[in-house]
Structure 1
Amino acid sequence: MHRLHARRSSLARDALIKKLRDYQDYTGVRVVVVFDGKGTSATEQSEPHSVQVFYSRAGQTADAIIERLASKYAEKFDLTVATSDFLEQETASACGAECISIENLRALINEAVPN
């Protein structure tokens, strides 16, 4: 996916969303994904049971959206934040979220979703 991202980031995003949708379908775990953005509206959602996708606005980072979501929902729901950014892990963890690395997320997806 890294090579794909280097060539066409939109295709890499779509491939990641598909993998996360498959993971959600197989596990029943609700998935929300946040990307650094398109510079427009903050939210995009295609269907009620689909993966919810957030894009940061101009002047905003994906980290800011993750922090806002973690502070709002981590105490109400089991919330896991997948990031390899240590500072972001610390911030989300302080809000009550469980944090895993991108490598651990990849392993969870590979274990849950048949090839």
Structure 2
Amino acid sequence: MSQLSYLLVDGHSVMHAWPELRRDQRSASRRHLAQLALMQRLRTYQDMSGKQVVLVFDGTHTQRNEQREPGGLQVIYAEATTTADAILERLANRYAREHPMQVASADGMVRETILACGADWISPEMLKSLCEDAEKQVQEWIGKRPR
């Protein structure tokens, strides 16, 4: 059995970077739509890549909230006094030497910290390309299935 590898994603950073999510992200009443769209794309990537995806959002609540879909995404909402960046850096510091790990963020300081921890960094644009490739794989697989 191969070693489990991880993709950690800075949710707000990616939603700000992807034009198709940016508009909904900027509207408080539509932000959940951007989050749902990002989660769907990351589920497809996780299914096709075999990586465990951990999506981290800045929080507004008094305590950290974590949700894990059975066999699916792990979503972490930071508490109001902590940023998603801090959680990503802590996770990379704790686990990057034990498990292959990529972190997707547009933040340069996060990039420097996670690289120092032994994780790999990818930009939101690189993540988008990975998601698009996974979506194409799904479409090809569906197209090859007997009808």
User: For 1:13-43, what per-residue CA distance to the aligned partner results, in whole angstroms no more than 9, with x for missing partners?
Assistant: 1111111011111121110010111324424
SS of residue in 2 equivalent to 1:35: strand
Partner of 2:114: 92
Q: Structure 2 length normalisation: TM-score?
A: 0.73
Q: Which has the larger radius of gyration?
A: 2
Q: Structure 1 length normalisation: TM-score?
A: 0.92
Partner of 1:44: 66
The structure that is strand-richer by fraction is: 2
Shift of 1:6: 1.9
RMSD: 1.4
Q: In structure 2, what is the Cα distance between the partners aligned to 1:9 and 1:81?
A: 22
Q: In structure 1, what is the Cα distance between the partners aligned to 2:105 and 2:135?
A: 20
In structure 2, stretches of 5+ residues that fail to align are: 1-20, 140-147
Percent same amino acid at aligned positions?
46
Q: In structure 1, what is the Cα distance between the partners aligned to 2:62 and 2:32?
A: 15
Partner of 1:33: 55
SS of residue in 2 equivalent to 1:32: strand
Partner of 1:83: 105
In structure 1, stretches of 5+ residues that fail to align are: none
Aligned residues: 115
List structure 1 segments (4+ residues) > 6 angstroms apart after TM superposition: none
Q: Which amino acid aligns with 2:116?
A: A
